Structures are given as C-alpha cells and as structure tokens.
Amino acid sequence: MENGATAARTAVIVAIDGPSGTGKSSTSRAVAAQLGLSYLDTGAQYRAMTWWMISNGVDVRDPAAVATAAGKPVLVSGTDPADPAITVDGVDAAGPIRTREVTSAVSAVSAVPEVRAVITELQRSIASAAASSRGIVVEGRDIGTTVLPDADVKIFLTASPEARAARRSGELKGKEAADVAATREALIKRDAADSSRKTSPLAKADDAVEVDTTDLTLRQVIDRVVTLVEEKRAER
C-alpha cells in the first residue's frame, strides 16, 4: 500500500513556462533531477523543427510551406535531465539548434498552427507516458495554458530584459555569441512575436505561480520551485 501511494505521489506533472533567459532550462533540469522526475525541453523541439526546415530548404518565412512540411521530420526527445538529447530523423540536433540562424527563425516556424499541432501532440504523448511512471517537468511557453492545462504544478518564470540578455548571450556558441545589447533587442522582439501569435501564445496560466528570477541565484530559483512541488505532493 505504501509503495503504491508513494508512486502516485511521485508522479507529479510540473509545467514551467516563461520567455528565454529566465532560467527555465537550468531550473527545470535541476528540479527534475533533484525530485527524480523526467524532463522535457519543448523549446528544443521547436528549434529542432526549425533547424530541419532550414536544412531542407523550406522557406521559414512562408507559413504555407512550413505547414506542408510540418509532418515530415521525426523528432525524438530524451527525457533524462542529465542528458536531454534530441534527434531529428536520427541525427543529433542538440548543437545545431542553438545557432543564431535557428534562433532568429524559430518564432516564425513555431507560430504556424500545423507545427504546433504536431509538436503539441508529441509533448502530450511524452507527458502522458511519464505521468504513469515517475512524473515529469515540462518547460516551454504554453505548457500550463495549452499543452498541459491540468498540470499539477504550474510555474511562470520572469526576469528583467537585461538579466535575460546577459544569460542568453552566455549560452550562444562561439562566433554565434552576440553582445548583450543586441541579444536584449532580439529577446524583446521574440517576446512580442511569441506573445502575439494567434495559436498558443506565450502567456502565464491563471493558476501559475510567478517567480521573478532577476535577483535570484539559480540555486534559489531551484529551491523555490522544489518547495512548490513538494507542497503540492503533500496535498495529495
């Protein structure tokens, strides 16, 4: 009886949303690892789709062309927080999806309803499988509002544009690294695009807990989210 109760308590679904540079990925991975949960980076899935489009000559500025191709690539996301791999048609895409070229195009691609339909279905399938085992932390922009509106815990991370730009600049690879000012402008532009798209815009769920990470260390953010999850577990 105790084992069954423990399993049910452990299989918690956690949705962590917010714009780029708020610490979503680092926080989500650490929380999943600390609590023994699976982990899914949904942003990487949209980046992978975008990378495939660019690599296969699809005009990412043409919504009709993107929509037609949306069902072609095969995306496979790893759910191990220690090794969140992602492949496209069997090819490791973890590195290529982080380039500035992909970053500049991902909002346009992810705004296409057919793309969101394909990836949302994939995300729900992964979350459903995890829900029947150990649970999962899913990070993105529309998880608590659209993908998993019944998630047990919903977190919305925010931070000042300056803090986000500094963090994001540090994530870019080699020659793709941009100065903080340029990165800040790019983030603001993407925020506007993601928040204003008609299909599943970036938004805070009504029942999400907002955590401003501007003046917090990563450890403080992780501890805050872990506490929220543990409080929810205690209620079950």
pLDDT tens, 160-219?
A: 888 888 776 665 544 444 576 777 777 777 777 777 777 777 789 999 999 999 999 999
Q: Which fold has domain 12-226?
A: Rossmann fold (3.40.50)
CA 133, 134, 139, 143 torsion-angle sign: positive
Question: pLDDT tens across 101-145, in order?
Answer: 998 999 899 999 999 999 999 999 999 999 888 899 999 999 999
User: Which strands, in side-by-side order, build the sheet including 91-92?
Assistant: 75-77, 86-88, 91-92
Structure tokens at 25: 């990925």
Alpha carbon distance 56, 126 (integer Å): 26
CA-atom Rg of the chain in angstroms: 17
Sequence ranges of the domains in the chain? 12-226
d(CA 14, CA 185): 30
Amino acid at 233: R
SS3 236: coil
